Amino acid sequence: MLSNLSGGDLVIVLVSIIISMAIHEATHGYVAHWLGDDTAFHAGRLTLNPLKHIDLFTTVLLPMVLLLAGALPIFAAKPVPFNPDRLKFDEFGAALVGVAGPLTNLALACLAAAVFRLWGPGLSSDVNNIIGIFTAVNVGFFIFNMIPFPPLDGSRLLYAFAPEPLQDLMRQIEGAGFLAILVFILLIFQFASGPIINLENSILQFLLV
């Protein structure tokens, strides 16, 4: 749905990304705070201000480099800091913090789709186009972030159930930081992009058609 976009559509995509990213990241912080960790609060990340969540490399430079290289443009916001040792429910608390962001994106997609289904016929084509793009952006956020590869959010859920040897491997990958994200996007994700796009299209068809 996000292919062959016009200039106006690209602006809508950008605004949708900014709004969705801010809500996604703030939700991580709010859930961590609710579970007993105030790290995000003291870091000023319990906010919907998108400027607090932008990272120069992963939010700005990375998608630009991928676009110039002809690859699928992916971006990541600045991770919301939290201390898993201060959370309730141990590893399961960290899993709740991790999945809170992607599930928020799924909820936003479902909310936008509900508006489309209930009032879409009475709205203009431009408004319906905005709703469709916003829904697609959030479904994309949900699917990508739920991939269980460190440091993506889905890895937090895997941590809670994985045996210790796999957890150790995941910690080593996560310790590589930006390099791990770059290797994942350039090597692993490019091979898996087909099934991921098919899954996204299936979810969008279920929500909007």
Kindly list the catalytic residues: 25
Measured distance CA(169)–CA(152) in Å, rounded: 15
Alpha carbons within 13 A on the beta-carbon side of 203: 20
Other CB atoms within 10 A of residue 169 CB: 12
Long-range pairs for 8-12: beta carbons < 8 A, 24 or more residues apart: 9/129, 9/133, 12/129, 12/130, 12/133, 12/134
